[in-house]
Each structure stands twice: as C-alpha cells, then as structure tokens.
C-alpha cells in the first residue's frame, strides 16, 4: 500500500540536509506518490541513485523503487533488480531479509516462478537464529516444490509441517499432501490425508472443496456408493450445483446398471 511506502520517507530525509538537492528530490518523489503519479516518482528516485547518495540512503531508495515497481507499476523485472541490489549491497540482516521476502513474494505470487521462489525460501530458512516467519517460509518452500510437480519431495516436506504443532500451516499441509497423492493417482492415500484435513479444518468453503475431491477420488476407485454419498453431502453448498447434480445422476445410472 501507499502507507507502506510512505513510512520510509522520514528515514530517507534524515541526514540529507534541508537545503540539499537530495532532500528536495525526496520531497518531490513523495509529492508524486501522494498524487498517484508513480512513474514520475520512480524517475525521481532513479535520478537520486545516479547522484550516488550514501549507502544507507541508497538502500532505502532501492527498497522504495522495488515497492513502487511491484505494487503500482507491475514491472516485476525492475522491482526484482532493486531488491536484489539490496541483498548484494547491504550488510544489515534486516534489509536483506525484507528484500528476500519481497523477491520470494514476487516469484511465488506474481510470476509463478516456483523454482526461483524455492531457492529464495531456502535462503530465508537458512538464517541463524531462525527468523520469525520461519514456518511461513517452510510452507511456501514446500508449496513451491508442489507447484513444480515434484509431488514426492513435496509430500516429504509437507509431512514435516503436519508434525509441527507450532506451525499454523500444519492443517493445510494435509490438504496439499492429499492433492499431491491425487495428482499421482494414489486415490486411497489422497482420501486418507483429506480425512485428516477435515478433522482440523473449520472453514466451510474449504471443507466443501475437499469433500468434492474425496468424492472424485472414490469415483476413480469405482466406489460408487461412497462417491454418491459425498457428492450428495455437498449438494446446495458447492458453488456449481449443476456439476453436483450431473455427477449424482451419472453415479445413480452406473449403480443401477451394475445391479442389472
């Protein structure tokens, strides 16, 4: 958000000297941000970097530019470049961690470059002492592996999360273990993990989604009665009721046909 960018302005102004061109440039960039003229603000900040400010100011300018390019201009290539500059140039762990978090977020959420996100989350997990968001990094690391289709490795990483009672991701990890088995066509293992997930999940929309997948798995196992019962249990709750009705009709006809 704009507020997130604004919080750096006072830190940038400290030590610039009121009459200095640098001070005036920072105020001009702030004015452009206030007026939502993000491209002009970025140009002013890029101009400040050309003037070779102190290392402290330079790092904060790079961070501002990384935020502006990613949040407002959707220029992820430039954003990544500025955050990477901080990682390489800063000796302060706080700025390195902040920038690595931004890089991982762009790779994971925006670019879906899960192989690169995996590498960055691995770096964040390697900090000593363990960082405050370690559990989140570990979860996103496992999901990065999952999204690359490496389901065996993903299951292994997710399993360590389910056994960690401190992690707030230990419930959803069961869901993705189930989904990994589902994509491997290991229907029974998928169902078993989804039952574990349902024991813990409270959100109804997520419960409905999972029951649909369980029904689908039973269908693939030719367990038509179990599939029918699960589909029926979410009739009226699943977003597309026509899909459920179609599945129920199909299963009913198949069961009747079997009895013949």
Q: Which two tokens stand for residue 151?
A: 């389901």
Nearest residue to 76 (alpha-carbon basis) of 111, 45, 39 = 111
Burial of 197 (0-12, 13-18, 19+ CB in 10 A): buried
Q: Which two tokens stand for residue 118?
A: 């995996």
With a cut of 90, say whether residue 17 has pLDDT above it: no
Q: Residues 6 or more apart from 59 whose CB is under 8 A from it? A: 86, 89, 90, 92, 95
Q: Which two tokens stand for residue 122?
A: 């691995």
With a cut of 70, say whether residue 16 has pLDDT above it: no
Q: How far apart are CA 101 and CA 80, in angstroms?
A: 11
Q: Residues 6 or more apart from 16 whose CB is under 8 A from it? A: 22, 23, 26, 57
* Contact in structure between 22 and 48 (CB atoms under 8 Å): yes
Tell me the pLDDT of the chain averaged across its residues.
Answer: 92
The pLDDT score that the predictor gives to residue 120 is: 98
* Contact in structure between 5 and 31 (CB atoms under 8 Å): no
pLDDT band at 248 (very low <50, low <70, confident <90, very high): very high
pLDDT tens track for 169-193: 999 999 999 999 999 999 999 999 9
Q: Residues 6 or more apart from 141 whose CB is under 8 A from it? A: 118, 121, 122, 125, 157
pTM of the entire structure?
0.89
- Give 201's DSSP letter: -
């Amino acid at each position: 958000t704009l507020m997130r960018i604004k919080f750096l302005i006072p830190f940038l102004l400290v030590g610039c000297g009121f009459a200095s061109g640098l001070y005036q440039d920072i105020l001009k960039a702030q004015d452009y941000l206030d007026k939502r003229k993000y491209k002009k603000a970025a140009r002013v900040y890029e101009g400040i970097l050309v003037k070779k400010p102190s290392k402290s100011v330079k790092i904060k300018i790079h961070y501002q530019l990384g935020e502006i390019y990613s949040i407002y201009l959707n220029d992820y290539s430039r954003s990544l470049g500025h955050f990477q500059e901080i990682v390489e140039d800063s000796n302060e762990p706080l700025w390195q961690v902040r920038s690595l978090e931004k890089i991982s977020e762009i790779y994971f959420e925006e670019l879906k470059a899960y192989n690169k996100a995996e590498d960055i989350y691995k770096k964040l997990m390697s900090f000593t002492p363990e960082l405050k968001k370690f559990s989140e990094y570990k979860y996103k690391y496992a999901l990065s592996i999952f999204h690359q289709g490496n389901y065996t490795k993903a299951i292994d990483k997710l399993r360590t999360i389910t056994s960690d009672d401190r992690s707030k991701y230990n419930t959803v990890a069961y869901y993705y273990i189930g989904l990994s088995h589902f994509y491997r066509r290991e229907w029974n293992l998928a169902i078993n993990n989804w039952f574990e997930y349902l024991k813990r999940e409270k959100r109804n929309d997520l419960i409905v989604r999972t029951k649909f997948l369980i029904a689908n798995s039973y269908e693939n196992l030719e367990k038509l009665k179990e599939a029918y019962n699960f589909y029926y249990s979410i009739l009226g709750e699943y977003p597309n009721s026509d899909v459920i009705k179609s599945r129920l009709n199909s299963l009913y006809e198949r069961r009747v046909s079997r009895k013949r």
